Amino acid sequence: MKDIISAPFLTELIRTISTMYAHGWDERNGGNVSVLLNEDQVADYVDLHAPIRDIPTGFEAPALDGAYVLVTGTGKYFRNVQYDPADSLGLVKLLDGGRTAQLLWGFSNGGSVTSEFPAHMMSHAARLSVDPANRVVMHCHPNHLLAMTYVHDLDSRAFTRTLWQMCSECVAVFPEGVNVLPWMLCGTNEIGQATAEQMKTARLVVWAQHGIYGVGRDLDEAFGLIETAEKAAEIYLKIAHLPRLNTITDEQLRLLADKFGVRAREGWLD
Ligand code: 13P
Ligand code: ZN
């Protein structure tokens, strides 16, 4: 059996989590990440026939039955993940239609999956239904996006249009826009279901007064989406209180979409 600490999927996750922390997106235990893995990827690193313990999930996700998931633990500090990954991270296999997460590695001091496991797993299922190559769900608390939800209209179209207007490449990076959910109680199946529903039409879902979810085929895609939206939110907060003399017009957004070969969300440009 190979040492899982040198597995590419683990080193890449640790590197990404450390970068998220360095960006200030994940104070204390804020944020969580999950990555879907294939049996082929994990079979060399863990004994699939020697589960450590079962973790009840409290929800069903039949589409993910049998899936392997590398996930951050609840209450774990992102700044510490790189120093003791086996304490902060876990590799689980979903069984019983998603009702049980069988722990195969990690959570070495008795930890458990993130409290946002319902939102993660329901979002994975929703994204797989529109993009079978999706593998990553990432949640964090970036300052500017979070601040923007206190002062900007939470209508998804209006919120997206403002972000698109802040940097020329935003419309190319997230042409489908961002979907915004009103404040809801986090860590529940209800916010999980609401998030998953929004994930069917966008790879970014903002949780008002809380943070954001990004998804992607790999960690770079999810990270890059959040990074780009967060930069746009930062620009917005720098200019929102000043007279706006210039902007990126809808005509220019159309030119950008054409240039990058993408289609802006139907009806979201005037
Ligand atoms: P966990 O520590 O359970 O992952 O929760 C952090 C968080 O961001 C909740 O939304
Ligand atoms: Zn959170």
- 29 Cβ closer than 6 Å to some ligand 1 atom: yes
Q: How far is it, in rounded angstroms, from Cα 115 to Cα 130?
A: 25
- Cα(247) to centroid(ligand 2), Å: 32
- Cα(150) to centroid(ligand 1), Å: 21
**Parallel/antiparallel/unpaired status of strands 32-37 and 211-216:** unpaired
pLDDT tens-digit map of 60-90: 999 999 999 999 999 999 999 999 999 999 9
**Which amino acid, 93?**
K
Catalytic residue among 12, 27, 39, 116: 116
pLDDT tens-digit map of 25-57: 999 999 999 999 999 999 999 999 999 999 999
Q: How far is it, in rounded angstroms, from Cα 2 to Cα 46?
A: 8
Is 69:101 a contact under the CB 8 Å cutoff? yes
- Quote the mean pLDDT of the chain: 98
- 57 Cβ closer than 6 Å to some ligand 1 atom: no
Query: What are the tokens at 71?
Result: 């996930």
CATH 3.40.225.10 boundaries in the chain: 1-115, 133-270
Residue range 1-115, CATH number: 3.40.225.10
What is the pLDDT at residue 58?
A: 98
Which alpha helices (DSSP H) does 184-218 contain, by range? 189-199
- 112 Cβ closer than 6 Å to some ligand 1 atom: no
pLDDT tens-digit map of 221-261: 999 999 999 999 999 999 999 999 999 999 999 999 999 99
What is the pLDDT at residue 73?
A: 98
Hey, what CATH topology would domain 133-270 get? Answer: L-fuculose-1-phosphate Aldolase (3.40.225)
Q: How far is it, in rounded angstroms, from Cα 160 to Cα 248?
A: 13
**Parallel/antiparallel/unpaired status of strands 136-140 and 100-106:** unpaired
- 134 Cβ closer than 6 Å to some ligand 1 atom: no
Burial bucket for residue 118 (CB in 10 Å: 0-12, 13-18, 19+): buried
Letter string b/e over residues 177-191, b meaning 16 or more CB atoms within 10 A of that residue's CB: bbbbbeeeeeebeeb
- pTM for the full model? 0.98
What is the pLDDT at residue 182?
A: 98
What is the pLDDT at residue 76?
A: 98
Q: How far is it, in rounded angstroms, from Cα 67 to Cα 95?
A: 8
What is the pLDDT at residue 231?
A: 98
What is the pLDDT at residue 42?
A: 98
- 116 noted as active-site residue: yes
Residue 116 — pLDDT band, cuts 50, 70, 90? very high
Residue 214 — pLDDT band, cuts 50, 70, 90? very high
Q: How far is it, in rounded angstroms, from Cα 166 to Cα 187?
A: 31
Instruction: Taking residues 196-208, report their average pLDDT.
Output: 99
Own/partner long-range contacts of 250-257 (Cβ < 8 Å, ≥24 apart): 252/168, 253/164, 253/165, 253/171, 256/168, 256/169, 256/171, 256/172, 257/171, 257/172, 257/175
- Cα(30) to centroid(ligand 1), Å: 5
Strands of 53-171 (E only): list them: 53-56, 68-72, 89-95, 100-106, 136-140
